[in-house]
Amino acid sequence: MSVQRGDNSCVFCNIANGTDNSNTIRMERELVVLFDDKYPKSSYHYQCISKKHIRNISHLTKLDLPLLEEMKSCAVEFLLENHKSDISHFRLGFHRPPFNSVSHLHLHVIGPLRYSVHEIMFNPRMGIFVPVDDLLESLRRKASEASSQ
């Protein structure tokens, strides 16, 4: 497993490199790992993390587009294999800083939500949660603008 590590105290780096086995790894790819959320906010709550230590979505650049696409692809593949009947009830996205709980890029794969308080945390209209497709579109737009200058 090739992991570009951050600080040894980063719990997600430790999961990605296999030194923390407290979470069930559900799927692994070259760039990402998907596992059960330790503190689930719904019946099904997973995290898809980058093996490369990136603090949060504010630190992403156009060079990270393949990584984000891999994160989304991994999450969708996992959901299709394991939650065929109710995939439309899942949300895929990131918490905007400073609302992210761990300073390591992680895609929430969550659904259906348990309580209304969780609806606030995972509702894109509240400005806290950014759907993966919105983030991908934003980075693609920035990349396009940069290349046209």
Domain spans of the chain, in order of start: 11-146
- Cα(102)–Cα(21) distance, rounded to whole angstroms? 17
pLDDT tier, 123 (very low <50, low <70, confident <90, very high otherwise)? confident
Average pLDDT over residues 55-60: 97
Exactly one of 45, 53, 106, 108 is catalytic; name it. 106
Using DSSP's 3-state secondary structure scheme, residue 30 falls into coil
Give the pLDDT of residue 85: 67
Instruction: Quickly tell me which residue has 């348990």 as its tokens.
Output: 114
User: Going by C-beta distance under 8 Å and a sequence separation of 6 or more, which residues neighbour residue 128?
Assistant: 95, 96, 99, 120, 121
106 catalytic per annotation: yes
Q: Tell me the mean pLDDT in the region 23-28.
A: 93
Which position has the higher pLDDT, 132 or 2? 132
The one-letter amino acid at 90: F
pLDDT digits (tens, 9 = 90+) for 62-86: 999 999 999 999 999 999 999 886 7
Class of domain 11-146: alpha beta
Residue 70 is predicted with a pLDDT of 98
Instruction: Check whether 14 has a pLDDT greater than 70.
Output: yes
